[in-house]
């Protein structure tokens, strides 16, 4: 399944906490929320409106 | 209770869309107050067609988040009856355009019971409903109609334009002892499946807070001209103001945030300051909000204005389907700019 | 049914009729010779319920003040049978500051928090709020019920069907009551309704339906007992239709020229008195006492109303918002 990275709720380089809402991915007329899997500094790997594949990394938390 | 005004927004970096901010407001009140519950069409598993109730069913269960049959008269009246008995319902009318099938319960019952009872019966509920066009949904699914509701005594009418206000106004609406019609424009919700609107994403404090109902917000200060608006049109007004600033025109932008009560003080103060007023309203032009604001100014002091009052509203036609036609009638930043240039002579 | 219960039903009906006779007198007293609907001690439309007392008495005998009733534009008999304070009711009808709604409501818009009573002047629109009251009772875990009343004309309204469906779906403790007085103002039931009995509509929504054909207060009492017990027990809503009689016209001033059956109408109160007398439950003497006591209460209420102040014009905008 593929979707579009609709919204980043965080900025590149920001510190996030585990469980925090970081992004929303849109698949047709529904959207899925993405939460931070861990705490740390986040590096965004895709831009808003990029097409993303299921299970492909969209960000990295260091 | 924490009271925060946008002008003194607390420091927060956490961003939410308007839809998520609304849901957070509802969710926090549901945690605080067992008498709050949500009902309407597709508010459960779907989470609201415009994401106004996402996740509430999972969090609070089917006893407090109820999908209804397509029977607006029955469930609108049910909300009123439950409110009379001390509950605090949040009832969703999926599109405001559907009010025709249940208006009797709204304006003859929920709005009038407090008065008819001589103040003995309270009806504390929130009627939340999606408004507005811009995405080719046609004449029966694109209206704003806030002027219609504001015209009828007994209903408060709030219309948030951004995530911060959406949460704070929702909390205030739930805590209010009156029926509050909470009208959210689909274009400010930050829905991923609509045209991207950067102003639909913003900082929202995590704690609970109220935005007072009846207090307008000066979202941009300026000295040359006042743009009075609400809801999605505030975004267009701010875009127009940014553009006009590069051309040497300094716009003040007022977000009314509520029609009832109407913040007449803020309107008059700004009109007196700039002497030029443009109302931008996505509702129909005649017999509505824009005319009301003209009347407020005239009744106070027509000499406040240096140039004739101006308004940009939907002309008195049903909202057209075809995109070129629809955008010919909706307020846009370009049309605001042209109106302002005309006002500035 | 025991004698005390039967006498209780009779007393309720007599009280209701006595009250409406007093209203009738004062309503017409100062509207003549030129009849002006907006003039007089009691202005406005006046829908009296004479003839329909058995419905209210039979149903409300099973209720307490904790139960809700939503009535119609013709609400007095239900208000009285449900125990509304007669003084507050009379004062509201006379438009006084001491009335139930401080003169803001009037006789079609009575809201009494102490008996959870309300009414709607809009046909069928009293049903939906009753659902909400029942919903609240159910959520509060109490065995309280809501009774929702309409006339037979309302059974053709959308609000009726939406409400019965939803109440059944959510198993709400509601008892729907239809007062079939044969007439929707001037239109007879058979000219407006495709079926003979609205009780059969209950089966469309999977609930129990009953029709009491003869305006019998004891028949209503029996049917209501079952329906209310089931609602209290969590078994959901029921529908009861009562074929009753409208003795005095749709509203005062209605000459009823469209009706040719006026000579054959049976007043249920003397009919019930005869029945109770022949059963040895009521004597002429006791009937006289009951009537006297009813009139005493009514006189007191009307006197209270008439001696109460009118609302101040300066306060007309009060109570729009809480």
Which residues from A are below 8 Å from B when comparing CB atoms? 4, 6-7, 9-10, 14, 20-21, 24-26, 28-31, 48-49
Q: Assess whether B61 and B199 both reside in one domain.
A: yes
Closest alpha carbon within chain B to C316 = B115
Q: Assess whether B182 and B286 both reside in one domain.
A: no
From B32, B283, B284, B51, select the one nearest B163 (Cα to Cα).
B51
pLDDT for the residue numbered C33: 78
Is residue C314 one of the residues assigned to a domain?
no
pLDDT for the residue numbered B7: 46
Q: Assess whether B59 and B148 both reside in one domain.
A: yes
Q: Which residue matches tokens 């100014």?
A: B297
Q: Would you place residue B4 in the very low, low, confident or very high pLDDT band (cuts 50, 70, 90)?
A: very low
Residue-number span of the structural domain to which B228 is assigned:
217-343
Q: Would you place residue C35 in the very low, low, confident or very high pLDDT band (cuts 50, 70, 90)?
A: confident
Is residue C280 one of the residues assigned to a domain?
yes
A-B CB pairs within 8 A amount to 29
Is residue C321 one of the residues assigned to a domain?
no
Q: Chains with 3 or more CB pairs closer than 8 angstroms to A? A: B
Q: Which residue matches tokens 């007669």?
A: C86
Q: List pLDDT tens digits, range B292-340.
A: 999 999 999 999 999 999 999 999 999 999 999 999 999 999 999 999 9
Q: List pLDDT tens digits, range C12-30.
A: 999 999 999 999 999 999 8
Contact yes or no for B193 and A31 at CB 8 A: yes
CATH number at residue A32: 2.40.50.100
Is residue C285 one of the residues assigned to a domain?
yes
Q: Is the pLDDT of residue B9 over 50?
A: no
- Which residues are within 8 A (CB) of B4 and not within 5 positions of it... i.e. 6 or more apart? B10, B168, B205, B209, B210, B211
Q: Would you place residue C101 in the very low, low, confident or very high pLDDT band (cuts 50, 70, 90)?
A: very high
CATH number at residue B129: 3.40.50.970
Residue-number span of the structural domain to which C37 is assigned:
3-309
Q: Assess whether B194 and B248 both reside in one domain.
A: no
Percent of chain B scoring above 70 in pLDDT: 96
pLDDT for the residue numbered B209: 98
Q: Is the pLDDT of residue B30 over 80?
A: yes
The Cα–Cα gap between C172 and C170 comes to 5
For A53, other C-beta atoms within 10 Å of its C-beta total 10
The Cα–Cα gap between B138 and B156 comes to 27
pLDDT for the residue numbered C32: 77
Q: What is the 3-state secondary structure (H, E, C) of C108-177?
A: CCCCECCCCEEECCCCCCCHHHHHHHHHHHHHCCCCCCEEEEEEHHHHHCHHHHHHHHHHHHCCCCEEEE
Mean pLDDT across C223-234: 98
Token reading at C233: 């027990």
Q: Would you place residue B12 in the very low, low, confident or very high pLDDT band (cuts 50, 70, 90)?
A: low
ipTM of the predicted structure?
A: 0.95
Which among B14, B192, B201 has CB closest to A26?
A: B192
Q: Is the pLDDT of residue C234 over 80?
A: yes
CATH number at residue C277: 3.40.50.970
Q: List pLDDT tens digits, range B141-162.
A: 999 999 999 999 999 999 999 9
Helix pair angle (C158-169, C127-139), 10° resolution: 20
What is the torsional sign of CA B3, B6, B12, B15?
positive
- Total domains in the fold of chain A: 1
Is residue B269 one of the residues assigned to a domain?
yes
Which among B81, B86, B122 has CB closest to C131?
A: B81
Q: List pLDDT tens digits, range B32-82.
A: 999 999 999 999 999 999 999 999 999 999 999 999 999 999 999 999 999
Is the omega angle on the peptide bond into residue C33 within 30 degrees of 0, that is, cis? yes
Contact yes or no for A31 and B201 at CB 8 A: no
Is residue B4 one of the residues assigned to a domain?
no
Q: Is B141 a catalytic residue?
A: yes
pLDDT for the residue numbered B1: 42
Alpha-carbon dihedral B143, B110, B19, B130, rounded to 10 degrees? -10
Q: Assess whether B76 and B159 both reside in one domain.
A: yes
- Total domains in the fold of chain B: 2
pLDDT in tens, chain A (62 residues): 889 999 999 999 999 999 999 999 988 888 888 999 999 999 999 999 999 998 899 999 98
Question: Under a CB-based contact definition with an 8 Å cutoff, are residues C152 and C193 in contact?
Answer: yes
Q: List pLDDT tens digits, range C109-144.
A: 999 999 999 999 999 999 999 999 999 999 999 899
Q: Assess whether B257 and B184 both reside in one domain.
A: no
Question: Under a CB-based contact definition with an 8 Å cutoff, are residues B309 and B277 in contact?
Answer: yes
Q: Assess whether B184 and B149 both reside in one domain.
A: yes
Alpha helices in C170-216 (DSSP H): 189-192, 201-204
Mean pLDDT across B208-227: 98
The Cα–Cα gap between B106 and A23 comes to 38
The Cα–Cα gap between B206 and B11 comes to 11
Question: Under a CB-based contact definition with an 8 Å cutoff, are residues B260 and B308 in contact?
Answer: no
Q: Which of B141, B185, B235, B236 is catalytic?
A: B141
Is the omega angle on the peptide bond into residue B261 within 30 degrees of 0, that is, cis? yes
From C254, C246, C259, select the one nearest C179 (Cα to Cα).
C246
- Total domains in the fold of chain C: 1
Q: Would you place residue C317 in the very low, low, confident or very high pLDDT band (cuts 50, 70, 90)?
A: very high
Q: Is the pLDDT of residue C311 over 60?
A: yes
Average pLDDT over chain B, rounded to whole?
95
Q: Is the pLDDT of residue C181 over 60?
A: yes
Q: Chains with 3 or more CB pairs closer than 8 angstroms to C? A: B
Q: List pLDDT tens digits, range B178-194.
A: 999 999 999 999 998 88
pLDDT for the residue numbered B11: 52
Q: Which is it for strands B277-284 and B225-229: parallel, antiparallel or unpaired?
A: parallel
Contact yes or no for B14 and A9 at CB 8 A: yes
Contact yes or no for C159 and B77 at CB 8 A: yes
Q: Would you place residue C31 in the very low, low, confident or very high pLDDT band (cuts 50, 70, 90)?
A: confident
Contact yes or no for C134 and B81 at CB 8 A: yes
Contact yes or no for B192 and A6 at CB 8 A: yes
Q: Is the pLDDT of residue C226 over 70?
A: yes
CATH number at residue B278: 3.40.50.920
Alpha helices in B112-153 (DSSP H): 113-116, 146-151
Is residue B3 one of the residues assigned to a domain?
no
> By three-state DSSP, how is residue A53 classified?
strand
Is residue C163 one of the residues assigned to a domain?
yes
Q: Of B175, B203, B231, which marks where a domain is finished? A: B203
Distance from B210 to chain A by nearest Cα, in Å?
Answer: 23
Q: Assess whether B126 and B193 both reside in one domain.
A: yes
Cα-based angle B168, B229, B10 (whole degrees, multiple of 5): 30
Token reading at A9: 């709720």
Residue-number span of the structural domain to which A47 is assigned:
2-61
Let me know if C267 is exposed, middle or buried by CB neighbors in 10 A (0-12, 13-18, 19+): middle
Q: List pLDDT tens digits, range B113-133.
A: 999 999 999 999 999 999 999
Q: Assess whether B76 and B195 both reside in one domain.
A: yes
Q: Assess whether B225 and B80 both reside in one domain.
A: no
Token reading at C26: 């004062």
Closest alpha carbon within chain A to B48 = A30
Q: Is the pLDDT of residue B3 over 80?
A: no
Closest alpha carbon within chain C to B73 = C159
Partner B, chain C 50-69, Cβ-Cβ below 8 Å: 68
Q: Assess whether B289 and B233 both reside in one domain.
A: yes
How far separated are the first and last CA of chain A, in Å rounded? 27
């Amino acid at each position: 399944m593929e979707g579009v990275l609709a919204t980043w709720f965080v900025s590149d380089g920001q510190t996030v906490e585990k469980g925090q809402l970081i992004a929303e991915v849109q698949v047709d007329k529904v959207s899925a929320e993405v939460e931070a899997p861990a705490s740390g500094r986040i590096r965004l790997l895709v831009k808003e409106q990029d097409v993303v594949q299921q299970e492909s990394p969209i960000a990295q938390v260091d | 209770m924490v009271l925060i005004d946008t002008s003194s927004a607390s420091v927060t970096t956490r961003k939410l869309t308007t839809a998520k901010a609304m849901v957070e407001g509802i969710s926090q009140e549901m945690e605080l107050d067992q008498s709050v519950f949500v009902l309407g069409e597709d508010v459960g598993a779907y989470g609201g067609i415009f994401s106004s109730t996402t996740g509430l069913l999972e969090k609070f269960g089917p006893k407090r988040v109820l999908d209804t049959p397509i029977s607006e008269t029955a469930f609108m009246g049910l909300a009123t009856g439950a409110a009379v008995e001390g509950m605090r319902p949040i009832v969703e009318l999926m599109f405001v355009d559907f009010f025709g099938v249940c208006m009797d319960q709204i304006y003859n019952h929920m709005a009038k019971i407090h008065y008819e009872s001589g103040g003995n019966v309270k009806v504390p509920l929130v009627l939340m409903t999606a408004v507005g066009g811009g995405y080719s949904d046609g004449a029966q699914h694109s209206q704003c109609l806030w002027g219609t509701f504001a015209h009828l005594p007994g209903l408060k009418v709030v219309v948030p334009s951004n995530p911060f206000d959406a949460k704070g106004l929702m909390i205030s609406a739930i805590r209010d002892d009156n029926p509050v019609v909470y009208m959210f424009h689909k274009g400010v919700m930050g829905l991923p499946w609509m045209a991207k609107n950067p102003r639909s994403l913003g900082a929202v404090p995590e704690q609970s807070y109220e935005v007072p109902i009846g207090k307008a917000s000066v979202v941009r200060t300026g000295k040359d001209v006042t743009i009075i608006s609400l809801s999605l049109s505030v975004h267009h007004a701010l875009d127009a103001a940014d553009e006009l600033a590069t051309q040497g025109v300094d716009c003040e932008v007022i977000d009314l945030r509520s029609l009832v009560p109407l913040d007449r003080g803020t309107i008059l103060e700004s009109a007196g300051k700039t002497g030029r007023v443009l109302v931008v309203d996505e509702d129909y032009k005649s017999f509505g909000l824009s005319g009301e604001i003209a009347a407020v100014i005239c009744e106070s002091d027509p000499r406040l204005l240096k140039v004739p009052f101006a308004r940009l509203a939907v002309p008195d036609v049903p909202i057209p389907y075809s995109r070129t036609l629809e955008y010919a009638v909706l307020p846009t930043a370009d049309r605001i700019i042209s109106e302002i240039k005309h006002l500035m002579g | 049914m025991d004698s005390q219960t039967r006498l209780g039903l009779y007393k309720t009906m007599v009280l209701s009729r006595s009250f409406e006779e007093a209203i009738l007198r004062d309503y017409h007293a100062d509207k003549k010779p030129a009849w002006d609907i907006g003039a007089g001690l009691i202005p406005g439309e006046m829908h009296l319920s004479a003839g329909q007392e058995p419905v209210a008495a039979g149903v409300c005998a099973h209720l307490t003040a904790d139960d809700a009733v939503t009535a119609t534009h013709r609400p007095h008999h239900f208000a009285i049978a449900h125990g509304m304070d007669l003084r507050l009711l009379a004062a509201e009808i006379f438009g006084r500051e001491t009335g139930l709604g401080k003169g803001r409501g009037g006789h079609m818009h009575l809201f009494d928090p102490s008996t959870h009573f309300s009414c709607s002047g809009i046909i069928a629109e009293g049903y939906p709020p009753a659902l909400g009251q029942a919903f609240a009772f159910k959520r509060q875990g109490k065995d309280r019920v809501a009774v929702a009343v309409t006339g037979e004309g309302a059974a053709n309204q959308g609000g009726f069907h939406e409400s019965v469906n939803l109440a059944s779906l959510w198993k709400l403790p509601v008892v729907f009551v239809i007062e079939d007085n044969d007439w929707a103002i001037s239109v007879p039931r058979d000219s407006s309704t495709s079926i003979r009995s609205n009780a059969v509509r209950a089966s469309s929504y999977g609930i129990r339906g009953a029709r009491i054909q003869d305006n019998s207060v004891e028949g209503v009492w029996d049917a209501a007992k079952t329906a209310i017990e089931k609602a209290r027990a969590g078994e959901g809503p029921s529908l009861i239709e009562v074929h009753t009689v409208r003795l005095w016209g749709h509203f005062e001033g209605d000459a009823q020229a469209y009706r040719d059956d006026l000579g054959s109408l049976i007043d249920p109160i003397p009919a019930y008195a005869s029945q109770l007398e022949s059963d040895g439950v009521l004597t002429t003497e006791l009937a006289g006492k009951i009537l006297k006591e009813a009139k005493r209460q009514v006189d007191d209420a009307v006197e209270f109303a008439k001696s109460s102040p009118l609302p101040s014009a300066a306060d007309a905008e009060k109570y729009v918002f809480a």
